[in-house]
Structure 1
Amino acid sequence: MLSNAGAMNPMQTSVFVTAVLTVLFCRPFQGQLSLTVVLVALVAALALVVGAWCAPAAGKLFARTSDAIWRRAKNAQLVGGGAAGYLALLLLTDKPGVAAIWGIVAALGIGFLMPGRTGGATLE
């Protein structure tokens, strides 16, 4: 049996990515911080995280929490999608909703590139 001591739970990654993206999508250094800006940033960050969760990872849409391959793939999708979303916000537009869409596309691409299960049959 594999040890899962060093692997981060994708739920923890989701909370972390949502919090970081909400702050980054607010663009706090522009000096135009308001409740509307914060709410738009929060909705865009949540949309990106939900989209990354719905993207298939390692050949599976959902998996048991003991599946280390799936957890690594899902964490890569969440972090990669968040990074791509923020990069899209910096490069393409000043709208966090569009950046969230690009982050979801990146999460789909990461899930497509992650290796699926190979080898013998498993009972699930």
Structure 2
Amino acid sequence: MAIEKSEVEIVKPRNDKREYRRIVLPNSLEVCLISDPDTDKAAASMNVDVGYFCDPEGLEGLAHFLEHMLFYASEKYPVEDSYSKFIAEHGDSYNAFTSSENTNFNFDVNAGCFEEALDQIFSILHQANNVC
């Protein structure tokens, strides 16, 4: 998988010791990576370019409804509420919000569980992408 390194400069405060890097995945997904070796937590935030302005006429609120429904299960993780149970056992929190043009999904977990948490949320979002 070829990853494009971005030349975009990320501006940060002088006292911020974290490292930042922006990459673009082959599917054009833009990723901002932040490394903080002083923490035992890991977090991710995914922003999808679909919000309530995309709701079909007569189905106002559909984007917000789907935001909530996505967390219930996926083909790869078919047990109902498996994502929220995983986060409760291995992390701290997860959340989502729908705005006019975007829907955001985010979570934070213990650093050792980050890859599995990413796999679960990507599985959910990938399945949703295949439905649309």
Q: What TM-score results when the alignment is normalised by the length of structure 2?
A: 0.35
Structure number having the greater strand percentage: 2
Q: What TM-score results when the alignment is normalised by the length of structure 1?
A: 0.36
Higher RCO, Cα 8 Å, sep 6+: 1
